[in-house]
Structure 1
Amino acid sequence: MTVLGVVFIATKGKISSLSVLPEALFIGLFSAIMIAFYSIYPKKLLKRYGSITVVGWGE
C-alpha cells in the first residue's frame, strides 16, 4: 500500500510520467532501503550486549 501511494504521489496518477526529479525519487527509495537495513542489522549485537548498551553506544 505504501509503495502504491508513493507511485501515485511521484506520478500524480499518470504512470507514464514523473512529477518529481528522478534523483529525488532515487534518494527517497535509497533512504527507505537504508532505514530498513538500519533496523535489521544490529540483531546480533542486541543478542550479545542488550538493547541499553547498543543504544548507548549508538548515540
Structure 2
Amino acid sequence: MEPWLLRAADLGGTAARNARAMLPGLAGAALVCWGVALIYVPAALILAGIFLLMLDGRA
C-alpha cells in the first residue's frame, strides 16, 4: 500500500481516538449550559417583563 495512504489512515484513527476522548467532556459541558439556561432564561424573561411594566408606568 502507498505510504501516504497508510499515514492518512493512521491520522484518521488518531482523530477518531481524540474525538472519543473529548465527547464525555463536551456532553458534560452541554449539560452544564443547559442547566444554567434553565435558571437564567426564565429569570431574564421575568426581569424583562418587570422592566417593560416599569416603562409603561402601571407597575
TM-score with structure 2 length normalisation? 0.44
CA radius of gyration, larger in:
2
Structure with the higher helix share, 1 or 2: 2
> Which structure has more RCO (C-alpha within 8 Å, separation ≥ 6)?
1
